[in-house]
Amino acid sequence: MQGRRKLPELVESIYDAGLDPSLWTKVVASIRDFVGGQACGLFSKDSISKFGVTHYYCGADPHYIKLYSESHSKFDPLTVLPPHGQIVSIPDLVNFDEYRRGRFYREWMQPQGCSDAANVVLDKSNANCPVMMTVLSGRRMVDPAMKQRLSLIVPHASRALLINRAISSQLTLASALADVLDNLASGIFLVDAACRVVHANVAGHALLDTGDVVRSVAGQLVTSSTEANQTLREVFATGSDVAFLAARGHAIPLMSSGGERYIAHVLPLSSVLRHGGERVVDAVGALLLRRVSLGGQSYGELIARTFDLTPAELRVFLAIVEVGGVPETAIALGIAETTTKTHLHRVFAKTGVSRQADLVKLAAGFSNPLVN
């Protein structure tokens, strides 16, 4: 009756462990006490190699836990695993007299003062290596009352392990995606309907720290262009597919105070992000911002091959992107403006664009997306 009163509290602690795996050690101790055993543990056992590893345990000597993993897991009675959720004791699995003459009993169970154990498969997500729970009964045999008490725990422990696996999978995916984003040279900003920054990758934070082409003002993303700011406010505030579709097809040119050219793109987001673990923030869109840089001679050669540009045409193309208009390009290259215009018109014809701003956008497509 005492155990019954503790059951709701125990079930609650099991689900807490589902959210925080570090709590399992305390939980298995509570399960042992509730069921009435000497020791309890969560372990995995490979159905092919018979190799077993204990994840959380209580009431057992660490020496025997290590011994189980290193050698004795292949001698235990769990040669053929029971169906998921079915509680079995050792006499349910093997001839008990033969078992007591075997190595597992004589070298592992008996030295710990145990004779029988209740075992149950909790998670078969990995069919070849299921997660199990065992309760060592001590010198007495596992009786129906022990099995009945353990049966009250099994469904909750199984669900808690599923929660562990789901959270672990999501964290692994989120971590992998974060690593990918942080290795991109482009600044990536997730923003809400008010254009407030919800998340930024490493490159994005670097741009914000510089505070030149883009900065954060009271948490709101602000660019160096008043016109671009107006466009972004309208797109993100609306948050409609139509608005994003219209903006998605048009790169937004930006320029730093030092004359470096940047290109921005907006993308819609449908997911809801949790910010700070409590407050729910709707990230309605993403802003991708990258500096227009051809990344060295190899990228210039790639552009030249792609559009069949002559060396002179390529020099003008690169100078227009890096330096600016025709007068600035002519000065930088030491050629006449008329010559610059001639080469520029040929570049327009070969690339299929008609404005210098479009050349900047075109060049951006050849820039290295990864951090150098």
Per-residue pLDDT tens digits for 86-127: 999 999 999 999 999 999 999 999 999 999 999 999 998 887
Residue 48 · residue 27 · CB < 8 Å: no
Which has the higher per-residue pLDDT, 146 or 245?
146
Q: What is the domain class of 2-174 according to CATH?
A: alpha beta
The 10s digit of each residue's pLDDT in 239-281 is: 655 455 555 556 788 888 887 878 888 887 754 443 444 444 5
Q: Is 53 left (phi over 0), alpha (psi -120 to 50) or beta?
A: beta
Q: Note the CATH architecture for domain 297-364.
A: Orthogonal Bundle (1.10)
Q: Which CATH class is domain 185-291?
A: alpha beta
Residues of the chain with CATH 3.30.450.80: 2-174
Domain with CATH 1.10.10.10 in the chain: 297-364
pLDDT band, very low/low/confident/very high, at 51 (cuts 50, 70, 90): confident
- Reported as a single tens digit per residue, the pLDDT across 193-206 is 888 998 899 999 99
Condensed to tens digits (0 to 9), the pLDDT of residues 334-358 reads: 899 999 999 999 999 999 988 888 8
Q: What is the 3-state secondary structure (H, E, C) of the chain?
A: CHHHHHHHHHHHHHHHHHHCHHHHHHHHHHHHHHHCCCEEEEEEECCCCCCEEEEEEECCCHHHHHHHHHCHHHCCCCCCCCCECCCEEHHHHCCHHHHHHCHHHHHHHHHHCCCEEEEEEEECCCCCCCEEEEEEEECCCCCHHHHHHHHHHHHHHHHHHHHHHHHHHHHHHHHHHHHHHHCECCEEEEECCCCEEEEECHHHHHHHHHCCCEEEECCEEEECCHHHHHHHHHHHHHCCHHHHHHHHCCCEEEECCCCCEEEEEEEECCCEEEECCCEEEECCEEEEEEECCCCCHHHHHHHHHHHCCCHHHHHHHHHHHHCCCHHHHHHHHCCCHHHHHHHHHHHHHHHCCCCHHHHHHHHHCCCCCECC
Residue-level pLDDT at 274: 39
